[in-house]
Amino acid sequence: AIVLDFQHSITEQSVVGLFMDRGPNFAALLLACSRLGAQALPMPREYPPHRLLAILQSANVRLILWEESVCGELKTAAECVSVASLGSPPPGGPDSRISLDPRAGGLVLSSSGSTGVPKLIARSQVSFYHRLWYTWNEIPFAQGEQCLQKSHITTTHSFYEMMEPLLAGQTL
């Protein structure tokens, strides 16, 4: 979160495109965006460039973090940064300047419904963390339980399937 804040001026309500497969980088960057109050927007690698460009324009994306470059194909005004180039945070630990409004957007998902035109769906921080709290308290994980993530990366369920077990210390 500190690197995104200082090196790329990502702040509350910035929209950050995540062009990568699910994995450790995706989970870490999702949490970094959350820490800054930025909105993470998954950009599925299987989507064609014209679809990704329509989503980027609809969401007003400022920064795209990628593991495999797509920026050359998209001709977008968004800053494109390789995850490998992010570097280390400055010395001094977490930045106490970062404060978060729980009503701030946390996730932006894109759905086309039946029209084929991107429709953005925003989920707030409080909604996301309320769901985590509910699951952990009402349907707790058993010791050593392993979890499966099966939903497509553009659905709300995929974020819960990933973050519920990981943040509770379970194996995904």
Contact 67, 21 (CB under 8 A): yes
Residue 82 pLDDT class (50, 70, 90 cuts):
confident
Contact 49, 64 (CB under 8 A): no
Residues 6+ apart with CB under 8 A from 2: 89, 90, 94, 95
- The span from the first CA to the last CA of the chain, in angstroms, equals 23
Task: Calculate mean pLDDT across residues 81-103.
Answer: 65
Task: Calculate mean pLDDT across residues 107-117.
Answer: 75
What is the Cβ-side half-sphere exposure of residue 136, based on CA atoms within 13 angstroms? 15
Full set of structural domains in the chain with CATH = 1-85+103-133 (3.40.50.980)
CA 14/CA 5 separation, integer angstroms: 11
CA 11/CA 13 separation, integer angstroms: 6
Residue 138 pLDDT class (50, 70, 90 cuts):
very high
Question: CA–CA distance from 43 to each of 40, 71, 151 (Å)?
Answer: 10, 12, 14
Average pLDDT along the chain? 79
Count CB neighbours of 130 within 10 A: 12
Query: pTM (2 decimals)?
Result: 0.80
Q: Is the pLDDT of residue 145 over 80?
A: yes
88 vs 65 pLDDT, higher one: 65
CA 26/CA 21 separation, integer angstroms: 7
